[in-house]
Structure 1
């Protein structure tokens, strides 16, 4: 128990450090969807990617399919990596930085203000105290037949997710199942909501990571349930929990709603 609580406390400290950092989700100040062809970047109100301050015309982003090239007003053209294959190329301009993301075949720019904490420093995020009762061993069962479900995101878009497994567990008299949104060699990722959502916890639900299943079993430690990026910024594109992952009881574990959240 002491080791598990210590690990949870270390995780909480790492979460706070990441959220307080210059590249935190709290520093996002814009999300701009790009069109095919030329997209102007700058403080000009007509720019496709509008900066809060700085040069009226900083440059342009040329998009052709999933390829993006940055043409600064002064300097050479630079091809940009999107976030599809890993870390994207970051373009910096003073305290501002932007990069290109790809979502369901569409490209967008995320704009970050790395000096955000100077005007609104991160005050931390509360959580339920660690409760070993919410560390639950679940059965990792194949879903027969596999399903393709439409998972919504906060922008209102739907993404098809093929689901071949389910985590089945009991809380009190209720047997429930969670469907994973992603299964990889690194672990399993879930998006869920419960009876605390919109009250004590973030209304759109929470995220939960689990280690790779072994011998038909999976540990769901809800003490590590955490707020999605959209709890901290309106410029994220978080998946929302599908109806299958709406738990009928209160999960009094994990992160609480962010006090300064929208």
Structure 2
């Protein structure tokens, strides 16, 4: 009986070692990598999924976690945001956020999607697409996204360490909103997900 238990322990230990640990410095990075590794949730093509080890992230940097002032724009009109396909995404500018990164002042539009407003669990969802000076080099050329929620007041935390690539970077079957040129900030946002190298 003792030998059987030893044998079972050896097998279970070697199996655990074979199962690769999901990479990531933070809970958000680990969750992203877990989503990409799981065939049922991954946006990757079958070929890329086969060789996927983990997303490439910039080093975690607290200077890219900013407290922004939100100026709401309740009278903004709905418009059709272009995407990477023929689909148009019905959006409106929910507000303008102003913030500082390393002593420099910036502003970005924050958007609200009409379809998501009517989706359970996403009623308070805000969409922050942006372009910066790492695009086309260290990060994806078309810019990146950050998910936000409507705050109670006029202050909102924006963590650029949670900036991620549009799904169409990984698979052409996705339809992704194109970042409006107005949402360009003239600095290097060396935080969040880097460009995807196949």
Normalising by structure 1, report the TM-score: 0.57
What root-mean-square deviation, in Å, do the aligned CA atoms of Structure 1 and Structure 2 show?
2.4
Deviations 1:186-227 (A, max 9, x none): 442211121111110111111101233132111100001111
Q: Which residue of 2 aligns with 1:26?
A: 44
Task: Tell me by how many angstroms 1:231 deviates.
Answer: 1.2
> After the TM superposition, which segments of 4 or more aligned residues of structure 1 sit over 6 Å from their partners?
none
Task: Tell me by how many angstroms 1:133 deviates.
Answer: 0.7
| Bigger RCO of structures 1 and 2 (CA < 8 A, at least 6 apart) | 2
Q: Which residue of 2 aligns with 1:193?
A: 131
Q: Structure 2: any 5+ residue segments left out of the alignment?
A: 1-23
Q: Which residue of 1 aligns with 2:58?
A: 128
C-alpha change, 1:151 and 1:122, in structure 2 (3 Å) is same
Kept in 2, the 8 Å contact 1:206–1:228? The answer is: yes
Matched, 1:9 2:23: no
Matched position secondary structure for 1:146: coil
Q: Which residue of 2 aligns with 1:175?
A: 106
Matched position secondary structure for 1:238: coil
Question: d(CA) in 2 for partners of 1:217 and 1:259?
Answer: 36
Q: Structure 1: any 5+ residue segments left out of the alignment?
A: 1-6, 28-115
C-alpha change, 1:176 and 1:117, in structure 2 (3 Å) is same
Question: d(CA) in 1 for partners of 2:160 and 2:128?
Answer: 11
Task: Tell me by how many angstroms 1:118 deviates.
Answer: 9.3
Task: Tell me by how many angstroms 1:148 deviates.
Answer: 3.5
Deviations 1:9-53 (A, max 9, x none): 1111111111111121113xxxxxxxxxxxxxxxxxxxxxxxxxx
Q: Which residue of 2 aligns with 1:82?
A: none
* Aligned positions of 1:1-262 closer than 5 A: 9-23=26-40, 24-27=42-45, 116=46, 120-143=50-73, 145-171=75-101, 172-182=103-113, 184-260=122-198
Q: Which residue of 2 aligns with 1:83?
A: none
Question: d(CA) in 1 for partners of 2:197 and 2:72?
Answer: 39
C-alpha change, 1:121 and 1:173, in structure 2 (3 Å) is closer
Task: Tell me by how many angstroms 1:145 deviates.
Answer: 4.6
